[in-house]
Amino acid sequence: MGAITVEPNSVSKTPYYTDISSIKATLSVSGSTASYLLSVNGSSSVTSISATHQIQQKQSDGTYSKYGSSWTATSAKSTLSTSGTKTVASGGTYRLKATVTVYTSSGSSTETVYS
């Protein structure tokens, strides 16, 4: 059975968009269980947040491809925190991709982060 690695362990990002104050995405793998956490803080003008998550597996050519189904989380506030587990195959390298959209009365901003 090959070793499971996560690359890198965690990322915190200060986004370009002023409506998103911070995003933190983490993914850790133990055996065949991947545990994820996504935390988003929007500015005071944010009325809701939506995030689409997907686990990606590193391929032999160094690229990443989608592993399993995507899932979403939403919040009717200016913050979003979501966590959970997904099953993965052993012997791979994985990362979490999160596409976050924050909504304000004047529009929306979208940011994609990787763990």
Nearest to 66 by CA among 5, 9, 114: 114
pLDDT for the residue numbered 17: 53
Q: For residue 23, count other CB atoms closer than 10 A to its CB.
A: 23
pTM for the predicted model, two decimal places: 0.81
HEC-encoded secondary structure of 70-97: EEEEEECCCEEEEEEEEECCCCCEEEEE
Q: What pLDDT, on the 0 to 100 scale, is given for residue 11?
A: 46
Identify the band that residue 13 occupies on the pLDDT scale cut at 50, 70 and 90. Answer: very low
Chain segment 56-115, per-residue pLDDT in tens: 999 999 999 999 999 999 999 999 999 999 999 988 899 999 999 999 998 898 999 999
CATH of 5-114, one of 3.40.190.150, 2.60.40.1470, 2.20.25.90, 3.30.750.200: 2.60.40.1470
pLDDT at 91: 82
Domain ranges of the chain: 5-114
